[in-house]
Amino acid sequence: MGTYRSFFLTGLLLGMFQLGLVAQSKDSIATAELSGAWLMDAALQMEKSMLANRNSQKALEDKHREDQLESMRSRMYIFYEDGQFESSWVSHGGSQIVYGKWDLGKDGVLLIELEDKSLLSYGITLERSRLQLTPGISGQSEAQTLYLKRFEP
């Protein structure tokens, strides 16, 4: 009877150890897939933005729309494997850059803490070389969903 109990406990411990490895490897895989440089998909972002705002405000004037599109084309989001975050873009002829830290929660939610201590939360949809970040904190509107594509130099 004692032998069966030893086998059972050994099997239980090994099973728990394997489950821990599977969970860890899934987290590692998700982190590896998200890590890297991402560019905003400016055409899709503009399309979704205009659709979201269609009823609440009139269409953007051509000049403003072109400025906004140019800014969107320049937006880059970099998720470093060590948890560092960087976002850069050009606006009104000047370069902008924001730093912070990112983490992927166990629930699959992306958390980004910026240098100014503001916290952003996004649900993630990752398909091949496309990434969709949907705001998860109240105060962030659906119109602020980000549509990104992997940067391939």
d(CA 131, CA 40) in angstroms, rounded, equals 9
Query: Which tens digits make up the pLDDT trace of 47-104?
Result: 877 655 554 445 556 667 777 778 888 999 999 999 999 999 998 889 999 999 999 9
Q: Which pair of tokens denotes residue 66?
A: 């072109």
Residue whose C-alpha is closest to residue 131's, from 148, 143, 146: 148
Q: Which CATH number fits domain 35-150: 3.20.20.80, 2.40.128.270, 3.40.50.1820, 3.90.1150.10?
A: 2.40.128.270
Tell me the domain boundaries of the chain.
1-34, 35-150
Q: Is the pTM of this model over 0.85?
A: no
Residue whose C-alpha is closest to residue 77's, from 36, 47, 112, 41: 36
Which segment, 19-23, 62-66, 95-99, 126-130, is predicted with the most confidence on average? Answer: 95-99
- Higher confidence at residue 43 or residue 6? 43
CB–CB of 50/59 below 8 Å?
yes
Q: Does residue 1 surpass a pLDDT of 90?
A: no
Query: Which tens digits make up the pLDDT trace of 100-122?
Result: 999 998 888 999 999 999 999 99
